Amino acid sequence: MHKEERGIGELYSEDPERADELLWGRKTGPSRRGFLRGAGLASMGAALGATIPFHANMPAGLIPAAFAQGIDFQLEGKDPGLTVLNDRPVNIETPPHLLDDDVTPASRHFVRNNGTLPDPMPLSDWRLTIDGEVETPMELSYDDLMNDFDHVTLRLQIECGGNGRAAYDPPARGNQWTTGAIANSEWTGVRLRDILHAAGLKQSGTHTGHFSYDEHLSGNPDLDPISRGGPINKMMDPHTIIALKMNGEDIPAAHGNPCRVIAPGWPGSFSQKWLTRIWVRNQVHDGTKMTGQSYRVPRYPVAPGTDVPEEDMMFIESMPVKSLVTFPEAGTEVAAGMPFEVRGQAWAGDNEVAAVDVSFDFGATWQRADLSPPPNRYSWQRWRANLRLPMAGYYEIWARATDDEGVSQPMVVPGWNPRGYLNNQCHRIHMMAV
């Protein structure tokens, strides 16, 4: 099976002919005769935004020069300190020291895409369709959402299910996120449950399916880059919203303009960007990345590298308890014996964080940090501790959060799974005392 998260350069470098098939839907076969005809040619042309007059001369496995650039680019509006993991689709993570704000600025919010990064749709053209298991299917404009429903403003965590994937061994497929696929911005919007009530949610409606206007990387309009959805109880939670504003401003293009789902505390894939449709269903949604092993983990512990049958996989719902050291930055020097502040963020999916402990002696002893309550459920929580490193030398600062059910972060990478989800091992940074 292929890795959809790989960039186009990686795909072509490993297996050019297979890349042709995956991206453009055409097998090139042992020779290039007949390459890029019909749907395959249309897909490549759509992705390039132009026809290819001399397509018959293209060698099999040739990556178009338009896509041959590396990933050394700066996404408009993003802090230059962010780390680009992939260019096609665009995926960018945030180093821990840039997550020190209680409210994550848009410039420092991670980016997780599955398809294209689309140009914003004109508001006059945009509509949100609510259909399926409802009494009155609806088509809502942006003005309808702004004027006809009550609004809420909440600080809400969004975390990619694969955050921390880079630490799994053997490596799991997908973007190799380290710790920075997490953010906690302030979102303003309409509770999804209010919209579903307005449409007359039927008792037969048990799940939702979400759709968006971004395109599949191939340009094929018949393919969705992602179409996830969730159980109706999560969609009816008062903290699940259709967001219209991010930190008081229009939602940036990279984060789903003009509106998106925010289903906090669950994998970010539930929070569909560039939203155009919510299909209320009487069964689990079976859209793109809802089947197979996508966003699923084994029902039982498995040895690293195990080939787990699909029937033994279960959906990820609430994300696990986690924390970050956001200050000081890794590698900072401090004076031996002198006090300094360490601080960070902690969160726990559907739960709250009950405690954060820090250690500078590799876990031999722990010190309880001061922990602030969240401003609302599903916001991360600020923690602070004053430390004193006793003598000159190399140190590591470890942080360990515990949730309100008594579950703590593990010191090591938790149980392996085929897609590298849910790594919540303790975060650590290195420091020097001089």
Taking the domains of the chain in order of start, what are their residue ranges?
8-67, 95-315, 322-433
* Average pLDDT score over residue span 391-413: 96
* Average pLDDT score over residue span 218-229: 93
pLDDT at 360 over 70: yes
pLDDT grade, residue 72 (50/70/90)?
Answer: low
The tens digit of pLDDT for each residue in 167-205 reads 999 999 889 999 999 999 999 999 999 999 999 999 999
* Average pLDDT score over residue span 399-407: 98
The tens digit of pLDDT for each residue in 127-169 reads 999 999 999 999 999 999 999 999 999 999 999 999 999 999 9
- For residue 23, the model assigns a pLDDT of 61
Q: What are phi and psi of 382, to 5 degrees?
A: -80, 135
Which of 16-25, 124-133, 188-197, 300-309 has the weakest average pLDDT?
A: 16-25
pLDDT grade, residue 71 (50/70/90)?
Answer: very low
Q: Which of 260, 241, 265 is nearest to 250 (CA)?
A: 260
pLDDT grade, residue 10 (50/70/90)?
Answer: low
- For residue 86, the model assigns a pLDDT of 86
Report the largest interatomic distance among the alpha carbons of the chain, rounded to a whole angstrom: 73
CATH number for the domain formed by residue range(s) 322-433: 2.60.40.650
Higher pLDDT: 263 or 56? It is 263
The listed range with the strongest mean pLDDT (3-7, 117-121, 382-386) is 382-386
CA distances from 259 to 104, 196, 378 (A): 18, 16, 19
- For residue 7, the model assigns a pLDDT of 57
pLDDT grade, residue 328 (50/70/90)?
Answer: very high
pLDDT grade, residue 323 (50/70/90)?
Answer: very high
Q: Choose the CATH number for 95-315 among 1.10.540.10, 3.40.50.300, 3.90.420.10, 3.40.120.10.
A: 3.90.420.10
pLDDT grade, residue 49 (50/70/90)?
Answer: low
- For residue 34, the model assigns a pLDDT of 40
pLDDT at 45 over 50: yes
Scan for tokens 């001061």, then name that residue: 370
* Average pLDDT score over residue span 212-218: 94
pLDDT at 8 over 60: no
* 221 preceded by a cis bond (ω within 30 of 0): no
* 170 preceded by a cis bond (ω within 30 of 0): yes
- For residue 30, the model assigns a pLDDT of 42
- For residue 9, the model assigns a pLDDT of 54
- For residue 230, the model assigns a pLDDT of 97
* Average pLDDT score over residue span 52-60: 57
pLDDT grade, residue 4 (50/70/90)?
Answer: very low
Higher pLDDT: 97 or 62? It is 97
Distance between CA atoms of residues 273 and 279, nearest Å: 15
Residue type, 428: R
Beta-strand relationship, 381-388 and 393-403: unpaired
pTM of the model: 0.84
**How high is the mean pLDDT of the chain?**
89
* Average pLDDT score over residue span 83-102: 93
Higher pLDDT: 20 or 341? It is 341
